Structure 1
Amino acid sequence: MSKKIFISYSWGLKEHQDWVVNLGKRLMDDTVDVILDKWSLKEGNDVHHFMESMVQADDIYRVLIICDKNYKNKSDNRDGGVGTETQIITSEVYNNQKQEKFIPIVIERDSDNNPYLPIYLSSRKYIDFSNEEYFEESYEELLRNILEAPSIPKPKLGTKVPLYITESVTNNTATNSIVRTLDNQLKKNPEKINSYSIQFLDTFLESLWDFELKSTTHILNDFVEELIDGLKSYKILREDFIDFLFIITKTEYEIDVDNLINFFEKKSLYSRPRVDTGSWNSINYDIYKIIFQELFLYTISISLKNKNYKLVEELLHSKYYYIDVYTKTEPKRYTELYTYHTNLERYFETKFNRITGFGHFIITNLSDKVKKGDMVFADLLCHYIGDLFAGNDYRDSWFPTTYLYKENYSNFDFFERLSSERHFEKVKSIFDVNSKEDLKKLLGEYKEGKKDKDRIRYGRGHDSIPFLHELVKIEDIGINR
C-alpha cells in the first residue's frame, strides 16, 4: 500500500507554487500518494476543514511543511490559512507521540544563513532543500524517510577480521598504472614529460572506447538515464585524467601544449563508431561530447590552480585542427568543444525542473580534487575569452553553464587582482596582450560593443552573466604594485 502524505505551504509567488507542485508530482511518480490543495481541494470545499482533516487524518503518514520566509511569518503571526493550520499542527506536534509525522522542508534561509522555521518547529530536525545544487540528495533523503528505506540501515555484525591492512581496493585501469608512477618518474627525468604525457593520453583515448553506448531505446528519459550511468561509470577513468593534469601542469615542467591540443582535436573521432558497420545511432555518442567538454574545463581549472598561465593562454588562443576522417579539416578555436547537450538539457528540465542540465551534472558530479569555485571560474573564463575574440561569428562562443552554481560571495579574485601590476604581468597573455594599455583598449572596445546588448541570461528570469567590464575596473588595471 502506498504512503499518503499532505503538503502544507504558503502560496506566495507563482515560482514557489510551481516548485511545490513539481515536488508533489515527482513524489507521485515515485509511488507516494500526495494530497495537495492544487489537485485535492475542490471548488466549494471549506479550506480550513480541508486543512484540519488532512493534518489529523490517521491515513496521512507524513505532513510536509514547506518552510520559507512567507510561511514562517504567517505561522508565527497566526495569519490566514497558514496561521489556522499552524494552530492545528502545533497541538498535533505536542500532543501526538508520533512527532515524526511532521517534516519541516526548508527551502529558504535568511541573510545569516539561518533556516526560515516557524517558532514551534525551530528545534525540530528538518530536510534542507535551500541549495539547488544538493536537491537530489535532499530529495532522496525525503523519499527514503517517507518510504521507510534508510540509506544507512544497521549493518550485520561481521564474522571475520577485515584484510584492509594487507589488501586494498585499487584502480586497475591502464591509465592509473601510468599516472601512479608519473610524478616520481618526472622528478627523476623531467625532460621526458612529453613522452610520458603522450603515452598517458594515447592510453586514455583508447580506454574511452570502453564507454561507447549501445542504447536502442527511443524514449528520452530511458536514454539519458543510460547516458548518465555511462558517465558515472567513466568517473574512475576521469579521475586518472585529473591526477595527470595536476602533475603535468606544474610550472616546473615544460609540457608541450600541442600534446593537449592534439588530444582535444580527436573529439570528432568519437562522434561515430570506431568501425562503421552501417546503421548506428548518433545519440549514443553524446557521451563523448560531454566528456571532452568536461575534460577541457578541468584542464583550464587545474592549469589556473597551478598558476600555469602560459598553458592557459596557449589552450585558449591556439587553433585546433579537429580530426575528421570524412570532411576537410579547418582550424577552429577551443569553443568548438562547447556543445548544447539537447537530450541532457531536456531530461533535467522536464524530470527535475533544472535550469541547466549540463551545469547541474558537472557540479553535482565534480571531482573532490577540484573546488566548485575553481570550476565555475574556468567555465566563466572560457566564456569571456571566447566572447572577446569571437569576431562576428555568433557560433564561436562558450556559454558558462556552471555560473548558476557560483557562491553568492564570489567576486572572482582573478579579475579583481588585475589592479595589481604583478598579477597583470603574470596573466596578461591569457588576454593576448603585451601591455596594460593593450588590455584597456581591448576591454574598452568590448564595453563599447556591449552598449546596446542585453546580458546573456539563464532561462525563466534567473541569473544573467555579467559583462567582463563589470568585473574589471578598466581604469584601475595595473595601478598598484
Structure 2
Amino acid sequence: MTVPASTPAPRAFVSYSWSSPTHEAWVLSLASRLREDGVDVVLDKWDLKPGHDAIAFMESMVTDPTVTKVIMVCDRTYVAKANAREGGVGTESQIISPEIYRSGSQDKFAAVMTDADEDGRPYIPTYYKGRIYFDFRSGDRFEDAYEQLLRWLVDRPQYVKPKIGSVPEAILSAAPAATATQSKARRAEQAIRESSVSAVAYVREYGDALVPELQALSPDIARGEATDEKVLAAVAAMRPYARQLVEIAGVAGRYSEDARVWEALLAQIERLARLMWRQPDIMSWHPHQFDAFKIIARDVFVSTLAVALDEERFDLATATIDRPWLIRPTEGANRPSTSDFTAFDNHVESLEHRKQRLQLNRISLHADLVHDAHAAGSAPSLESVLQAEFVIFLRSVGQATQGRWYPFPLVYASDRFAPFPLFARAESEAFFARLAPVLCVPDVAEFRRRLTEIEGGDRVSRMFDHQGLPVKYLANADFLGSRR
C-alpha cells in the first residue's frame, strides 16, 4: 500500500534500542521501507547529527505537533532500559510515558513487538501494557504486520465503521413482543422440539398465562367514544400474543407426531375464542367490547390452519377444521353445546362503524387488517393465510355448517388466476389423495363437481362488491389429479 501523492506524508519518529548490529539493521530496513511507502520517518541515524543535543532531539520528536506518530520498537533490551529508565531509551521513556496518558495522544503511540520471553509473551514496557501494538515476532507474518503498521501510520484502517443509517420502518412500526408469556412460550416450544412427555403440560401452562394477558388488553369503551380507535389499539396490543401462539403451532406442526400436543394447542385457541363473547362475570359492556377478540381469534384460527397446510400436516389441518369447538355460550335448551369452525367468523361492527365514520372507500377493513398483519416476511405469509381462507371457504359451502364463512381476506385474491400452491401440487394424484380429507371429498371427480356448483352460485358472484372469486382457477380445477 502506497500513500497517494496528493496526501500529505505522515511524519513518524522511531524509538528503539541499539541492542545489536542485527537489530539496528532490522530497524533501519523497516524505516527505509516505510519511507518508500510514503511515511516521513525520523530516525536518529538519519536526523541526529554529531554535536546535536540528543535529549532535546528526543523530546522534540515526542512533543513536536508535526510528528504525528511515534513507533517504539520493543525488544528485550528496549523494555529493560525503558522500565529501569536507563540510557537514551530510558530518557525517551520518561518523555513518552506522560504523553501516552494525555487524552489527545491516544492514537499517537504504538509499539512494534520484535521479541518474546520464555513463555511466548511479548516484551512491553510497563507504562504501555494494554495498548495497541504490532506483532513482528514471526517472520512468516511480517507482511501482514507491516501492512497493519502502515495503515495505522497513514490513517487508512482496513475496516471502516459504516455510516449510521435509519432504523427500518418495519422495526419502528412493529408491535412490542409478548414478553409476559415469552418464557412459557419458549419452554413449550423446546419441549415440543425434544418430544418431551411434558410438552402437553407446557402448552397448557402457556395457555394459563396467555388468556389473562389477553383479557387485560380488552378495550375500555364508554358510550359516545370513537370505539373503532380503541378496538384497533387493542388489536395492535394483542397481535404479538397471537403471533406467539401461532409460532408454537408452527413448531408443533414441524416437529411433533404426538396428536395430544396439537389438541392441547387447539384447546388454547378455544380458550381465546371464548373471549369473543361476554363472560358470565361481566355485567356491563359495550356492543363493540369484544370486537378485538373477534379479530384476533379468527386470525389465530386461520393462521394455525395455514401453518399446518404449509407443513403438509393434513392430519392436523383436518383435526383443526373438524374439531367441535366449545366456545359459544349456551343459550336455551335443546341446542348443541359445541360449534363448528364457522363460530370463528363473526361480524365486527366497529369496523363497519369506522368505515362509515371516516368515509373509507374500502371493500373490507377487516381484510385490510389481515393484509397488514401478514406483511412480507411474516409467518405464516399472506399467501398461506389466503390459501387457508380458501380451504375453509370450500368446506363451508361444500357441507352443512352451523354458520357461514365469509372469506373477506380473499378480496386480495379476487384478481388472481394462478392456483394456490396446495392445489398446484394437487396435480399429483397421490398428493390430492392426501389433501382430500381436508377438503372433505372422496375423489377428484366429486371435488370438481363441487367447485362447479360453488362457482355457479350467487354467493360467489356477489362477493366483494360483485367482483366475484375465480374459484376454479384458484383450485386448479382442470388439472387436479392429472399426474400419477
Q: Same fold (TM over 0.5)?
A: yes
1:355 equivalent to 2:363? Answer yes
Amino acid in structure 2 at the alignment position of 1:202: D
Q: What is the match of residue 455 of structure 1? A: 460
| Aligned mate of 2:243, from 239, 244, 260 | 239
Q: What per-residue deviation string (whole Å, max 9, x for no partner) do you get for residues 28-70 of structure 1?
A: xxxxxxxxxxxxxxxxxxxxxxxxxxxxxxxxxxxxxxxxxxx
Deviation at 1:224, TM superposition (A): 0.2
Q: Is the 8 A contact 1:447 1:469 kept in 2?
A: no
1:272 equivalent to 2:282? Answer no
Alpha-carbon separation, structure 1, partners of 2:200 and 2:269: 16
Q: What is the match of residue 44 of structure 1? A: none
Percent of aligned pairs with the same amino acid: 15
Alpha-carbon separation, structure 1, partners of 2:301 and 2:236: 18
Summarize the alignment of residues 333-344 of structure 1 with structure 2, pairs less than 5 Å apart: 333-344=340-351
1:469–1:172 CA distance, 2 compared to 1 (3 A):
closer
Any idea what SS the aligned residue of 1:194 has? Answer: helix
Alpha-carbon separation, structure 1, partners of 2:178 and 2:274: 28
Q: What is the match of residue 480 of structure 1? A: 483
Q: What is the match of residue 420 of structure 2? A: 412
Deviation at 1:441, TM superposition (A): 2.4
For the pair shown, the structure with the greater C-alpha radius of gyration is 2
Q: What is the match of residue 232 of structure 2? A: 228
1:468–1:206 CA distance, 2 compared to 1 (3 A):
farther
Q: Is the 8 A contact 1:386 1:397 kept in 2?
A: yes
Deviation at 1:223, TM superposition (A): 0.7
Number of residue pairs the alignment of both structures matches: 305
Q: Is the 8 A contact 1:193 1:254 kept in 2?
A: no
Q: What is the match of residue 212 of structure 1? A: 218
Q: What per-residue deviation string (whole Å, max 9, x for no partner) do you get for residues 232-287 of structure 1?
A: 122222232122122112254323343244334442354225623x3322321111
1:294 equivalent to 2:325? Answer no
For structure 1, which segment, 308-317 or 201-210, has the greater mean C-alpha deviation from structure 2 after superposition? Answer: 201-210
| Aligned mate of 2:321, from 313, 316, 325 | 316
Deviation at 1:457, TM superposition (A): 3.3
1:190–1:333 CA distance, 2 compared to 1 (3 A):
same
Alpha-carbon separation, structure 1, partners of 2:419 and 2:481: 18
1:398 equivalent to 2:405? Answer yes
1:233–1:469 CA distance, 2 compared to 1 (3 A):
closer
Amino acid in structure 2 at the alignment position of 1:429: P
Q: Is the 8 A contact 1:362 1:402 kept in 2?
A: yes
Alpha-carbon separation, structure 2, partners of 1:451 and 1:466: 11
Alpha-carbon separation, structure 1, partners of 2:431 and 2:244: 31
1:273–1:323 CA distance, 2 compared to 1 (3 A):
closer
Q: Is the 8 A contact 1:190 1:253 kept in 2?
A: no
Deviation at 1:416, TM superposition (A): 2.8
Q: Is the 8 A contact 2:195 2:256 kept in 1?
A: no
For structure 1, which segment, 350-359 or 323-332, has the greater mean C-alpha deviation from structure 2 after superposition? Answer: 323-332
Alpha-carbon separation, structure 1, partners of 2:372 and 2:176: 24
Amino acid in structure 2 at the alignment position of 1:396: G
Alpha-carbon separation, structure 2, partners of 1:408 and 1:446: 17
- Normalising by structure 1, we get a TM-score of 0.57
Any idea what SS the aligned residue of 2:403 has? Answer: coil
1:254 equivalent to 2:262? Answer no
Any idea what SS the aligned residue of 2:405 has? Answer: coil
Q: What is the match of residue 475 of structure 2? A: 471
1:473–1:286 CA distance, 2 compared to 1 (3 A):
closer
Q: What per-residue deviation string (whole Å, max 9, x for no partner) do you get for residues 387-443 of structure 1?
A: 1113xx6x6221111112237464213223322122113212112345x3xx42244
Alpha-carbon separation, structure 1, partners of 2:189 and 2:297: 24
For structure 1, which segment, 279-288 or 183-192, has the greater mean C-alpha deviation from structure 2 after superposition? Answer: 183-192
1:188–1:343 CA distance, 2 compared to 1 (3 A):
closer
Alpha-carbon separation, structure 1, partners of 2:454 and 2:463: 21
1:274–1:236 CA distance, 2 compared to 1 (3 A):
farther
Q: What is the match of residue 345 of structure 1? A: 352
Amino acid in structure 2 at the alignment position of 1:342: E
Deviation at 1:229, TM superposition (A): 0.9
Amino acid in structure 2 at the alignment position of 1:186: I
Alpha-carbon separation, structure 2, partners of 1:472 and 1:189: 37
Q: What is the match of residue 125 of structure 1? A: none
Q: What is the match of residue 200 of structure 2? A: 194
Amino acid in structure 2 at the alignment position of 1:389: Q
Q: Is the 8 A contact 2:328 2:337 kept in 1?
A: no
| Aligned mate of 1:331, from 311, 318, 338 | 338
Any idea what SS the aligned residue of 1:336 has? Answer: helix
Q: Is the 8 A contact 1:193 1:248 kept in 2?
A: no
Any idea what SS the aligned residue of 2:231 has? Answer: helix
| Aligned mate of 2:309, from 293, 304, 315 | 304
Any idea what SS the aligned residue of 2:393 has? Answer: helix
Structure 1, gaps ≥5 residues long: 1-154, 156-168
Alpha-carbon separation, structure 2, partners of 1:445 and 1:239: 34
Structure 1 moving runs of 4+ over 6 Å? none
1:387 equivalent to 2:387? Answer no
Amino acid in structure 1 at the alignment position of 2:398: L
Deviation at 1:321, TM superposition (A): 2.9
Amino acid in structure 1 at the alignment position of 2:317: V
- Normalising by structure 2, we get a TM-score of 0.56
1:330–1:281 CA distance, 2 compared to 1 (3 A):
same
Amino acid in structure 2 at the alignment position of 1:308: R
Any idea what SS the aligned residue of 2:426 has? Answer: helix
Q: Is the 8 A contact 1:194 1:255 kept in 2?
A: no
Q: Is the 8 A contact 2:390 2:407 kept in 1?
A: yes
Alpha-carbon separation, structure 2, partners of 1:188 and 1:268: 31
Q: What is the match of residue 12 of structure 2? A: none
1:372 equivalent to 2:382? Answer yes
Deviation at 1:451, TM superposition (A): 4.2
Q: Is the 8 A contact 2:451 2:477 kept in 1?
A: no
Alpha-carbon separation, structure 2, partners of 1:405 and 1:194: 37
Amino acid in structure 2 at the alignment position of 1:361: L
Deviation at 1:298, TM superposition (A): 1.0
